């Protein structure tokens, strides 16, 4: 439960960071309603992530690759050439030329040339060329640049992404976000100032516009 609590706090902090500063000064009744809705959204993220973690944990137990509490650190002056796998977490401050696959949390403050896969992925001052795949949340900090597709359960993006974003749950785009690619998600929150060049599709939403209008045509006939 502590891990999921930390996850919710991380996402809450991320959303707080991406909110425009001027909007936090003096809130109206409408703003309060939006805050309540946002808290509900974070609860859903927490619940969805917990469900995904439960499934992932069961799969890991079956395959004998359970998540450990160990955290490896690649220091700022270290350059790694080759693939990295770990049953724990990884904090990357240096650079890696190769694929990264960790069962735990991946914190990136350096450079990656290759695909990354982890339970949770957080990037700050990061430069990644390759696919980013998370079983849970992806957080892209303001000074991070990702050139590659992103797959996750939920995402908070404040940096630059050149690639498609495929997220089963909610996507939050900060005012500083720059996205060049298509977005597929359950819901999208776009803060004023974010720049998107691509198509946004809420294909994972509970309501399908296509089905709705198909049914409407049948009723009209």
Higher per-residue confidence, 19 vs 180: 180
Radius of gyration of the chain (CA): 19
Q: What is the pTM of this model?
A: 0.69
Mean pLDDT for all residues in the chain:
81
> Does the pLDDT value for residue 22 go beyond 90?
no
User: 63: buried, middle or exposed (CB in 10 Å: 19+, 13-18, 0-12)?
Assistant: exposed
Higher per-residue confidence, 46 vs 210: 210
Higher per-residue confidence, 62 vs 206: 206
> What confidence tier does 89 reach under pLDDT thresholds 50, 70, 90?
very high
Q: Show Cβ contacts of residue 47 under 8 Å, excluding neighbours closer than 6 positions.
A: none
Dump pLDDT digits (tens) for 110-133. Answer: 999 999 999 999 999 999 999 999
> Does the pLDDT value for residue 158 go beyond 70?
yes
User: How far is residue 139's CA from residue 186's CA, in Å, rounded to a whole number?
Assistant: 17
Contact criterion met (CB below 8 Å) for 50 and 30: no
Dump pLDDT digits (tens) for 167-185. Answer: 999 999 999 999 999 999 9
């Amino acid at each position: 439960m502590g891990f999921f609590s930390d996850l919710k706090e991380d996402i809450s902090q991320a959303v707080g960071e991406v909110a425009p500063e001027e909007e936090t000064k003096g809130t109206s009744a409408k703003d309060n309603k939006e805050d309540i809705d946002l808290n509900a959204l974070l609860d859903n993220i927490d619940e969805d992530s917990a469900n995904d973690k439960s499934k992932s944990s069961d799969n890991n137990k079956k395959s004998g690759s359970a998540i450990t509490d160990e955290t490896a650190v690649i220091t700022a002056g270290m350059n790694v050439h080759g693939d990295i796998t770990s049953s724990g977490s990884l904090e990357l401050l240096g650079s890696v030329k190769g694929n990264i696959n960790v069962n735990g949390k991946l914190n990136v403050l350096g450079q990656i040339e290759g695909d990354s896969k982890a339970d949770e992925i957080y990037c700050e001052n990061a430069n990644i060329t390759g696919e980013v795949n998370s079983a849970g949340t992806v957080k892209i900090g303001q000074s991070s640049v990702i050139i590659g597709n992103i797959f996750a359960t939920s995402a908070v993006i404040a940096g630059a992404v050149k690639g498609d974003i495929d997220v089963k749950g909610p996507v939050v785009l900060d005012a500083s976000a720059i996205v060049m690619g298509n977005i597929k998600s359950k819901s999208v929150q776009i803060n004023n100032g974010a720049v998107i060049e691509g198509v946004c599709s809420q294909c994972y939403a509970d309501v399908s516009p296509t089905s709705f209008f198909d049914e409407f045509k049948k009723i009209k006939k």
